[in-house]
């Protein structure tokens, strides 16, 4: 489960990491009162579980309480990558000297964690890594050893982070381990003009499998649920929304994870994880495609199914049914293999939808979906 920024910051503070004073509200009038209590000048930030808030106008500096109220009124209700802003966080501003990036993420393929750090924070780390990969360091972390002060010092030195960040790196690892997180990220981690190391933003993904160790009120879980994830859960689908552009649907968690890796290996970003399971019906397939196509960030969709209990012709029937219920405006790449694969391919060929094409291998399907997504993004940029 992804946390909102204010929830991530609460975890950071509980583990001794310095964060600016802040408060959350869903009321513009209350935003004015909060700003007054924080000294007048505040940063107003949309609370949505996705990136790109600043570029979308969801992060604004307000010079006084009246400006804070106005900013909150404009941000609340805003749509950011398909997420409607229901709350805003008002935080005291910080005088920044330098910005950095740090994170710990589970590296499933290697069976360990990975520390990712850069002396250039405050921007999309993907952009920095693409333009100047040498500016982003990746340090494997042995789960048995963890991040000791010595390990943290090596990470900081490799990334060019200040010595004061070592303690923060150790504490962030404590957040990861003690809260059963899969991802802990701070961007930016800043050094203030007074020399303090402060976490200005935070992103945390918790492992739902460890939820029994960290009970939270059901209301909190419901309030933090992504609308599409809630819609998918209501239909019995295993769906997790990601920050990419290629929608991914498959049968079986292992196959879906492999498909995500294949898409990423082709230079694109998966928009979701959606497992239709081992015995999915045509109705389930139709529901899955409907959910994925409802994400406005999706510019291509990849369906990767290996027929076993789930016969490929049933999957094909589900796709055809979904095309009758949902207006397809993004290209759909389908790879069917296994039980009744030939029959499933024939069903799709007979439907002959202009935006549906088939591929024979997973890698080939991933390459095609990635190219279609890139082409759509390029076309959108040119049109803009």
What is the 3-state secondary structure of 183-201? EEEEEEEEEECCCCEEECC
Strand partners, 105: 114, 183
The reply to whether 101 belongs to the active site is: yes
- Rounded to whole angstroms, how far apart are CA atoms 138 and 117? 7
Contact 370, 333 (CB under 8 A): no
Q: Which of 23, 185, 229, 245 is catalytic?
A: 185
Q: Which residue is associated with the tokens 């001794």? A: 16
- Rounded to whole angstroms, how far apart are CA atoms 341 and 343? 5
Residue 285: burial class (beta carbons within 10 Å; 0-12, 13-18, 19+): buried
Q: Which residue is associated with the tokens 């048995």? A: 144
CA dihedral 367, 370, 372, 376 (to 10 degrees): -160
Contact 134, 128 (CB under 8 A): no
The reply to whether 239 belongs to the active site is: no
DSSP symbol at 85:
-
- β-pairing verdict for 246-250 and 300-307: parallel
Q: Which of 101, 179, 229, 245 is catalytic?
A: 101
Q: Give me the active site residues, please.
A: 101, 185
């Amino acid at each position: 489960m992804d946390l909102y920024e204010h929830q991530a910051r609460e975890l950071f503070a509980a583990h001794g990491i310095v964060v600016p004073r802040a408060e959350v509200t869903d009321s513009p009038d209350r935003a004015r009162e909060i700003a007054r209590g924080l000294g007048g000048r505040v940063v107003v930030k949309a609370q949505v579980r996705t990136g790109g808030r600043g570029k979308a106008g969801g992060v604004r500096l307000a010079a006084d309480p009246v400006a804070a109220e106005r900013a909150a009124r404009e941000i609340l209700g805003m749509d950011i990558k398909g997420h409607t802003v229901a709350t805003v966080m008002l935080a005291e501003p910080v005088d920044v000297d330098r910005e950095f990036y740090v994170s710990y993420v589970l590296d499933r393929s290697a069976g360990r964690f990975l520390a990712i750090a850069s002396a250039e924070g405050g921007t999309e780390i993907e952009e920095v890594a693409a333009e100047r990969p040498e500016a982003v360091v990746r340090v494997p972390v042995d789960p048995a050893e963890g991040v000791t002060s010595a390990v943290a010092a090596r990470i900081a030195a490799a990334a060019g982070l200040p010595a004061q960040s070592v303690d923060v790196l150790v504490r962030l690892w404590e957040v990861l381990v003690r809260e059963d997180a899969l991802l802990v990220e701070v961007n930016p981690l800043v050094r203030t003009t007074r020399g303090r190391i402060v976490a200005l933003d935070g992103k945390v993904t918790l492992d739902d499998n460890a939820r029994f160790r960290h009970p939270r009120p059901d209301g909190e879980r419901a309030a933090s649920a992504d609308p599409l994830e809630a819609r998918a859960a209501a239909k019995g689908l295993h769906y997790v929304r990601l920050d990419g552009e290629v929608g991914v649907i498959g049968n079986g968690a292992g196959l879906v994870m492999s498909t995500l890796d294949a898409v990423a290996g082709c230079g694109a970003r998966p928009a979701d994880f959606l497992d239709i399971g081992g015995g999915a019906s045509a109705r389930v397939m139709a529901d899955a495609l409907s959910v994925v196509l409802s994400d406005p960030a999706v510019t291509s969709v990849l369906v990767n199914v290996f027929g076993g209990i789930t016969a490929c012709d049933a999957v094909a029937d589900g796709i055809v049914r979904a095309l009758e219920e949902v207006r397809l405006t993004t290209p759909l790449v389908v790879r069917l293999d296994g039980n009744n694969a030939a029959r499933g391919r024939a069903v799709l060929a007979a439907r002959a939808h202009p935006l549906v094409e088939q591929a024979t291998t997973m890698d080939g399907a991933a390459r095609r979906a990635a190219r279609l997504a890139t082409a759509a993004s390029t076309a959108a940029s040119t049109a803009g």
